[in-house]
Every structure is written in C-alpha cells, then in structure tokens.
Amino acid sequence: MHKKILAFALALVGAGASLAAQPLLSPAELKAQLGQPALRVIDIRDAHAFATKHIPGALNAPYGQWRGPASNPGELPPLPQLTALVRSLGLEAGTHAVVVSSGADATDFGAAARVYWTLKALGLKELSLLNGGEKAWADAGLPQDAAVAQVAPSSYQPQLDASLIAPRDEVARDIQQGSAVLVDARPKDFFEGQTRHVAAKVPGTLQGAVNVPYSQFFDGENSGVLQPEKVRAAAASEVDAGKPAVAFCNTGHWAATDWFALSEVAGRKNVKLYPGSMVDWTQAPGALPVANEPGRAKQLLIDAKFWAARTFN
C-alpha cells in the first residue's frame, strides 16, 4: 500500500515538473512541439521579414511594440498597452509562448530575452526562447511558410511581478545599502565611460557595478546562439551568489540577456532587470551618482562624435 502511495506521489511530481517550459529551446526541440494547441510561437521580427517567411503557425509582434519611447526605450510600455498586446496573441496563463527573434547576432538575442522577460513580468510562466532564432531554424532546414495564422484573442489580465523589476528608486537604495550585485551587461567601453547611449545624459556606470558583458555568453558577437556552459561559468565566477542581482545596460536590451542567463539558464534566484537602465538613471530629475564618469573634455569629444554621426551619416 505504501509503495502504491509513493508511486502515485512521484507520478504527481513528474507531472508537475513537465508543466514547466524549458527556457531555451533548440530548433529541433521546437519543431517537435509545433501543432500543440497550447503553443504560441511569437516572432518579434519586423512585419516585412515575418511576411516573407516564418515558422509555421507563428504570430508576429515586432520588438518595437514591447519597448518604450525613443527618449527612454527601456521603459516598460503602459500596462493597458501590454495587456492589449498579449491578449491579441491569444496568450493565457496556460499558454506556452516561444519567443523568436532573427538570430542575426549576439545583440539580437537581447530582443528575444527582453520580450521573454516582459512576458514573465506580466505573470506568464510557460515561456521559452528559440536559441539562435529564425536563422538557426532556417540553417537547420526546418519548414517555413508565409501563411498568416489566426488566433482568438484572450481575456488574460496581467499582474506585474515586482520580483523581476528593479525600478530606479530601488536601484538607488541597492547602491546606498550595498544590498544587491549590480551587473552591467554592456561592452567594456560603455562600462568605463568611454562612450554612452545617445539618449543618456552622461557616460559611466552605476556605483559598485561589475561588468559582465552580454557577448561573453556566445561564441563571438556574430553568433546568435547562447552557450549555456559559458553562462554557468560566468555566473559562478563573476556574480556573487550571496546577494540578489540587478542586470542593467543602456536601455534594458543587453541586460535582458544577462538577466536571462543568470535567472533562466544558471538558475539564480532573486535576479531583477532594471528596464530603463543608464538612460533612465541619467535622465532622473536631479543628478544621480555615476561611476567612471569622464571629465568634461572627454564628454565634449563624445558629444562631437554623436553630432558628426547625425550630420554626415
């Protein structure tokens, strides 16, 4: 009798485990799931690229729909806007949503990771990301078509999950109290204050931040395929596991890759994303402290380069 009860309990555990979607899917793993009623493949490429050819049954929701205004691209769009978007895709609590980007390079991976994070922040749990995106799918010789899939809108009501979102005031407290590891996902020249995002007011990084460039999780910048073994090595050696972590960059794009790597691949607990990142931080009313901020002469040189790029390119 006890053996039967134990077997039944183990079966329930196994069934519960099977409900959790695998965060990172290979093209072959996604191909095996196509056609399942609860599956939604969300292609975040632009409408033209999507219309040319895509994974059969995929729905198009271009990346720009998930982003903030040009003045602060990392800012989360208003909740009503995001609610309308997820409902239009037919997403429900039990839907398995798979995010697909172009897969062009390591930077493009951040787009898929940012949409994945947004969906999770909206309370959706059954989520995956196609490793290598559309490019990996095509390179594997898997089927594509140009058919437009239709889904019934859902009535899903998102609830923002504060455990995933680090707003500016919370980041300021983390800096003051030393209560979190601040993970700068940008290339070294941004971290050291040699350059800045065009919408940021000053170069530099957050005080006390560690630099974990997003690109180190790939086999070079031109690869859009994340390498889990590189993620786990970096997580073990560069990010203190004894504290919560907050990933940031310029606009919450590259940082989404670091968040995904630490939280979803390495399995770290208490990892947040600062959506607005350095653009939001430097635009705050009243100057907030910035580390590695260069002198005025260097900042004028950076400004001159931006001016030249706008004027002559």
> What pLDDT score was predicted for residue 193?
97
- Ranges of each domain in the chain: 20-160, 166-308
- Summarised one tens digit per residue, pLDDT across range 136-145 is 999 999 999 9
pTM of the model: 0.92
Which CATH fold topology does 166-308 show?
Answer: Oxidized Rhodanese; domain 1 (3.40.250)
Radius of gyration, CA atoms only, the chain = 21
> What pLDDT score was predicted for residue 1?
36
> What pLDDT score was predicted for residue 186?
98
> What pLDDT score was predicted for residue 309?
81
Q: What DSSP letter does each residue of the chain carry, written as one string? A: -HHHHHHHHHHHHHHHHHTSPPSEE-HHHHHTTTT-TTEEEEE-S-HHHHHH-BSTT-EE--GGGGS--TTSTTSPPPHHHHHHHHHHTT--TT-EEEEE----SHHHHHHHHHHHHHHHHTT---EEEETTHHHHHHHTT---B----------------GGGB--HHHHHHHHHHT-SEEEE-S-HHHHTTS---TT-SS--B-TT-EE--GGGGBSSTT---B-HHHHHHHHHHHS-TTS-EEEE-SSSSHHHHHHIIIIIIS--SSEEE-SSHHHHHHTSSSPPP-BTPPPHHHHHHHHHHHHHHHHH-
Residues of the chain with confidence (pLDDT) below 70: 1-19, 313
> What pLDDT score was predicted for residue 125?
96
> What pLDDT score was predicted for residue 313?
67
Q: How far apart are alpha carbons 39 and 127 in whole angstroms? A: 10
> What pLDDT score was predicted for residue 3?
39
250-to-197, 201, 276 alpha-carbon distances in Å: 6, 11, 7
**Superfamily of structural domain 20-160:** Rhodanese-like domain (3.40.250.10)
